[in-house]
Structure 1
Amino acid sequence: MEKRKEDELKLKQAELEMRERLEMDKKEKEDVFKLKELEMKEKMKIEMVKEESNTKVQPKSEYFDAAKKIYVWFLNFFEKIARNLNWPKPYWTTMLQSVFEGKAAEIYSALPSEKSSDYDTMKQEVLKAYKLVPEAYRQKFRSYKKFDSQTYVEFAREKEDLFDKWLTSKKTDNNF
């Protein structure tokens, strides 16, 4: 009888220790998750500040259209974040529509509801509205000249970026 009580007591102590360990593990995982979330938010803020400061230094030029640049950069940045955070693609347009302004907002509101919920269709329509179609990318690539304030590395990177966008808009999938 006493042996049985001892066994029950040991069993209860083991259960209690197991619960405490599980709670500690859970709390530790939550803390790690929160820390990673904060680190990610901080990185996003830093990237946004870097991009903002980069756009401020650009000299006025016939080759630089802020609206087009922002939407190409912004949509690529948004897609990267959405994929990294595993956001379901059907919700992407809902998240984006709240930050659209000007022409992009007009395009989004003019789309029929079945098209406005398809991210790829919405993206194509917004880019088309800003004339970011293959021919526009080709022209931008061909006519892009180095600014006096640019280094050759910056110029080459920008030229390469324009070339990649031209090929992507032509849907070549690197089959050339």
Structure 2
Amino acid sequence: MKIRNATFYKSVSAIDHLPKEQLPEIVFVGRSNVGKSTLLNSLTARKGLAKTSSTPGKTQLINYFVINESCYFVDLPGYGYAKVDKGKKYEWGKLLSHYVSTRDSITLVVLLIDSRHPDMESDHLMAEFLEHCGRPYGVVLTKYDKLKQQAKAAARLAVKSYSLKSKFIVNYSAISGQGKEELLEQLAIYTG
């Protein structure tokens, strides 16, 4: 997949505000501060397209980006630790659960996992949820450049142990670009 253009489309806080257009949606999900927005900026080669922050919980809405005028990349709020109150987390959970389990135009969910913490219970639960919903998903191990060689192999093994139905596992570094082409090839399969 070659990304020729990428633009912000809209932010959504409720299911009834989702786009009516039935373009394929590739959804990016992961724990707070795992690097979802950074990954989107890296994939599109557009620094600042998706807002990034070192503060967990920066993404608080479902953010839609139009890619090549043929599909959406969708940046979801992170799960797990975020600097927001419990009520807000609960509302996010309801919104995201409903969105992921019922949205017909979702063609792929990309589960981002911090390669430095590959065995978090919240990631296990998300993989189980995606499998329960019957959603095709792939795994991206983010921040891969920060690991030593031995830890890289251990991270992949840990993720393989609980993401049995994932379509792919890609090691990714937004800094070096490692994994970018491989991931774009995988995404192309699901963009129609």
TM-score normalised by the chain length of structure 2: 0.26
Kindly name which structure, 1 or 2, has the bigger radius of gyration based on alpha carbons.
Answer: 1
Structure with the bigger percentage of helix: 1
User: Using CA pairs below 8 Å that are at least 6 residues apart, which structure has the higher relative contact order?
Assistant: 2
TM-score normalised by the chain length of structure 1: 0.27
